[in-house]
Amino acid sequence: MTAPQPLAFVNARLVDPESGYDGPGGVIVSEGVIADVAKGREFGKLSKGVRIVDCGGAMLAPGLIDLRVKTGEPGAETKETLASAARAAAAGGVTSFVVQPDTDPAVDDPSTVDFLLRRARDIDFARILCAGAATKGLRGEEMAEIGLMREAGCVYVTDADKPIADSKVFQRLLSYAKGFDTILAHRPLDPWLAKGGAATGGEFAARMGLPSISPMAERIMLERDVALLEATGGRLLVDQLTSAQALETLGRAKKKGLRIHASVSINHLCFNELDIGDYRTFAKVTPPLRGEDDRQALIEALADGLIDIVVSAHAPAPAEDKRLPFDQAAPGAVGLETLLPALLGLYHDERLPLIDLIRAVTLAPASLLGLQTGRIAPGAPADLVLCDLDAPIIVDAAKLLSKSKNSPFDGRRLQGQVLMTVVDGRVVHRAEG
């Protein structure tokens, strides 16, 4: 493959969380890396053969890094393939994403990690990274080959949606993974309290007659996780925190200086339990949407840095799995294409400065995983997103590039249009018109 033409982005609003810069500027991209960055100045005479992209004041930021994406590959390719997810990612300005191991078969040994990463290598639209299972078959019993999977290239280990109920197993995982400096991602959920639930326990679910889960299920498990983390000194990524009471637990753990990080899904930042009114199964996600108080607390926690990372929690489910009675419908929502415009809502509402929002989907996940991406600095990989922050869009689920169209944002008015996405110096997406 011939090297792509060097690009010079000029006249942009440059947002780089690493240097803390948010202001006018430009970037020159050459041979897959960022060759030069201009902050508050213009480039001198550009060499011949450089294509100039006039950004017209649009935001130029590091490409987004999404730590929690599900596809259907392998095992359920009708839902989503790595390629279709990558295409959707490019349209959403996501340049790297981590696929979850709960596929069929599960990614729980080095050969499946290798298989996935080989498949991923042929896909140009995005960098596809992979998480390995923490336990064999995601059963929560025996430890998976964490060391070998790390060697094969997995970036962290997790049992995805399945909580690891056995405290002994969880303790060993934290402790063993430490030897490979590997992060264990865990979604805290007490499986006994959560059994059979489809909505958040409270007045609303009770009125709707839906089987429900108390948010307490999250806090109880997180309290255990933190206690064991304290004992082992491992590294923990709290996957998709959703409740105010669990935030208190997280706050205490961070204050103690434990190596703990937390993510929140875009769905829990944008929706609350009322969005499942009329039994809207497209708003059925796992963990379930919480009350408005919890949503506000999550936004606050993101603003003050208690929560580090925002994920799309992209979980494709075809219509036949969604158009069912609420308690039977599959949970999950696609999110790769709507992550950035939805997140920008918090900027437009003046809840968070733009640079802090961008950090949570670029530098923060990159630093956590030790990636070179997620920053705009000379020598860094040329993964960029160009976005018109103010452009109004109406999300049309039918037009999403994901194979599955299960978006709770369908019909929503958002502000922020991805104009161009660059991966490894190549333009992988350009907005129509």
Partner 1 sequence: MTASAHDPSAAIETIRKRLFSFPKRHFLSAGDLNAPQAADLLDLADAFVALNRQTSKSLDLLKGRTLMNLFFENSTRTQSSFELAGKRLGADVVNMNPKTSSVAKGETLIDTAVTLNAMRPDLLVVRHASSGAASLLSQKVSGSVVNAGDGQHEHPTQALLDALSIRRAFGRVSGLTVAICGDVLHSRVARSNVALLQILGASVRLVGPPTLMPAQAERWGVTVHHDMKSGLAGADVVMMLRLQLERMQGGFVPSTREYFRFYGLDREKLSRAAPGAKVMHPGPMNRGVEIDSDVADDPVVSLIQDQVEMGVAARMAVLAALAHRLEEEGR
Q: Which residues sit at the interface with partner 1, rule CB under 8 A?
A: 201-203, 205-212, 278-279, 320, 323-328
Kindly report the backbone phi and psi dihedral angles of residue 371, in degrees, each rounded to the nearest multiple of 5, phi listed first: -90, 155
- Least CB distance from residue 202 to partner 1, whole Å? 5
| CB burial of residue 422 (10 Å; 0-12, 13-18, 19+) | buried
Question: Contact, 359 vs 18, CB < 8 A?
Answer: no
Q: Which residue has the tokens 């996780």?
A: 225
- Least CB distance from residue 140 to partner 1, whole Å? 23
- Least CB distance from residue 167 to partner 1, whole Å? 23
Nearer CB in complex with partner 1: 34/330: 330
Residue 408 tokens read as: 């709770």
Nearer CB in complex with partner 1: 57/211: 211
- Least CB distance from residue 231 to partner 1, whole Å? 32
- Least CB distance from residue 325 to partner 1, whole Å? 3
Q: Which residue has the tokens 């995982």?
A: 173
- Least CB distance from residue 290 to partner 1, whole Å? 14
Nearer CB in complex with partner 1: 320/432: 320
Nearer CB in complex with partner 1: 170/326: 326
Kindly report the backbone phi and psi dihedral angles of residue 350, in degrees, each rounded to the nearest multiple of 5, phi listed first: 60, 35
Cα end-to-end distance, the chain, whole Å: 28
**Residue in 229, 255, 250 with CA at minimum distance from that of residue 240:** 250
- Least CB distance from residue 207 to partner 1, whole Å? 7
Nearer CB in complex with partner 1: 124/327: 327
Nearer CB in complex with partner 1: 44/192: 192
- Least CB distance from residue 248 to partner 1, whole Å? 21
- Least CB distance from residue 319 to partner 1, whole Å? 9
Q: Please tell me the distance from the alpha carbon of residue 236 to that of residue 240, in angstroms, as a whole number.
A: 12
Q: Please tell me the distance from the alpha carbon of residue 392 to that of residue 19, in angstroms, as a whole number.
A: 29
Q: Please tell me the distance from the alpha carbon of residue 348 to that of residue 395, in angstroms, as a whole number.
A: 17
Nearer CB in complex with partner 1: 96/404: 404
Nearer CB in complex with partner 1: 210/226: 210
Nearer CB in complex with partner 1: 178/280: 280
